[in-house]
């Protein structure tokens, strides 16, 4: 949790001058959403989950809660927010390693179209996002404890749309 908090704070500083919304994949009990809301009070934060747990500590307004399986909700959302996501945080992993790898591959495949050039990606799992470059983690965060990427300035929506070239 501390590693995540440290990475989120670093990411918030990196996107300070980059307009755009935030995607939070995995509401869980809402601790990360609460932290993001505190650090980015002026950003729109869209939160994705298949459920809202009864003991959630912080829940987004209905307008910013995207309920359903990522397989159904993410493809539509990336089209809606094409090139407009400044920060993507994903924490949908579980103890099921095969599920985690499959989900990481799905997320990696779908998110490039939504990410702004210079956007930051934070993830509990390693991702392979076209146009994103792995970043060194902030001091004090052990390697592989979290994963941080930055979209190339020339990447994002254009890079994932071959017809835009
Ligand atoms: C580890 S929890 C997230 C914890 C969160 N960061 C917090 O602060 O509590 C993972 C969440 O991802 C959601 N999730 C996992 N796979 C999903 C999928 N394929 N579609 C939608 N939600 C999913 C689960 O329902 C769960 O709430």
pLDDT above 80: residue 60: yes
Q: Is any atom of ligand 1 closer than 6 Å to the C-beta of 5?
A: no
Q: Is any atom of ligand 1 closer than 6 Å to the C-beta of 91?
A: yes
Report the predicted TM-score, pTM, of the whole model to 2 decimal places.
Answer: 0.94
Question: What is the topology classification, in CATH, of domain 2-58+67-164?
Answer: Rossmann fold (3.40.50)
pLDDT above 90: residue 156: no
Q: Is any atom of ligand 1 closer than 6 Å to the C-beta of 76?
A: no
Confidence of residue 85 (pLDDT cuts 50, 70, 90): very high
User: Which ligand 1 atom is at minimum distance from the Cα of 94?
Assistant: 1
User: Which ligand 1 atom is at minimum distance from the Cα of 70?
Assistant: 20
Q: Is any atom of ligand 1 closer than 6 Å to the C-beta of 26?
A: yes
Q: pLDDT per residue over 29-45, tens digit each?
A: 999 999 999 999 999 99
Long-range contacts of 149-154 (CB under 8 A, 24+ apart): 149/120, 149/121, 149/123, 150/14, 150/118, 150/119, 150/120, 150/121, 151/112, 151/115, 151/116, 151/117, 151/118, 151/119, 151/120, 151/121, 152/117, 153/117, 153/118, 154/117
Q: Is any atom of ligand 1 closer than 6 Å to the C-beta of 129?
A: no
Q: Which of 92, 97, 100, 123 to mutate to test the pocket of ligand 1 (most atoms within 8 A of CB)?
A: 92
* Amino acid 153: pLDDT: 83
* Amino acid 56: pLDDT: 95
Q: Is any atom of ligand 1 closer than 6 Å to the C-beta of 107?
A: no
* Amino acid 129: pLDDT: 98
């Amino acid at each position: 949790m501390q590693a995540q908090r440290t990475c989120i704070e670093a990411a918030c500083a990196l996107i300070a001058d980059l307009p755009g919304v935030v995607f939070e994949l995995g509401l869980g009990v809402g601790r990360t959403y609460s932290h993001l809301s505190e650090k980015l009070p002026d950003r729109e934060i869209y939160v994705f989950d298949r459920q809202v747990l009864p003991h959630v500590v912080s829940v987004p307004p209905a307008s910013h809660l995207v309920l359903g399986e990522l397989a159904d909700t993410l493809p539509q959302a990336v089209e809606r927010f094409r090139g407009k996501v400044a920060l993507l945080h994903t924490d949908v992993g579980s103890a099921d390693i095969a599920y985690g790898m499959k989900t990481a591959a799905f997320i990696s495949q779908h998110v490039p179209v939504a990410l702004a050039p210079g956007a930051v990606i934070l993830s509990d799992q390693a991702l392979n996002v076209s146009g994103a470059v792995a970043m060194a983690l902030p001091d004090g965060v052990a390697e592989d404890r979290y994963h941080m990427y930055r979209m190339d300035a020339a990447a994002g929506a254009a890079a994932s749309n071959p017809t835009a070239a």
